[in-house]
Chain A
């Protein structure tokens, strides 16, 4: 299985600040069709996960432009600028290039 390693595990932030979350895969996530299937989710406390970014850098419907994704191959980053209270929770990366699909262990964004 593809191992997805997220860092850091915990990320203290001040409201209005900017943070970055790293996600590294144990093998390349470039699919045979040429696409890279790396996605980002946020799970707020007591809620189900919600899709933020799909295919590395595409914001899902309704996601503010404070969220941006980048990366290639095995190394990916989610950046959040101007952090707001509703951004707090656990962030997960997901790879869906290789079966079985695998998630990172999560990064908890919390107030400093």
Chain B
């Protein structure tokens, strides 16, 4: 059974940093592109970033480019999102997802990030 478990969310002040992690199990992690999708409170879904099998290619939405860094460790079956210079508009639940063949198939339960002073 595919399982994705996010961690690392919490309350952080504007301008500070936070690193999210996602532990994957139940599938061959290195066979999948991976992605982060977020959802602001009571709002819709928004793709944030994606990464290729080996981490050699990364993709970001414009609003996080230069502030967020997606990475992975295939030996640990783990996905990460380093978030720097956080803004209030980054407040959201962040979901780790598999990104295979152009769609997000499996999702974790999410981790809430709140950016507030």
Which A residues are within 8 Å of any B CB, using their own CB?
Answer: 31, 35, 37, 39, 41, 43, 47-51, 54-55, 60, 92, 94, 96-97, 99-106
Contact = CB atoms under 8 A, between A and B. Distances in A.
A98 B50 CA distance: 14
Given A51-B104, A94-B103, A101 B47 contact: yes
B32 interface: no
Contacts of A105: 44
A48 B44 contact: no
B97 to A, nearest CB: 9
Nearest to A96: B102
B103 A49 contact: no
Nearest to B45: A103
Interface stretch (B12-20, B23-31, B76-84, B105-113): B105-113
Interface in B90-105: 95, 101-105
Given A48-B109, A51-B105, A54-B103, A92 B44 contact: yes
Given A48-B95, A48-B109, A49-B95, A103 B46 contact: yes
A39 B103 contact: yes
Contact of A100 (B44, B47, B109): B47
B2 to A, nearest CB: 10
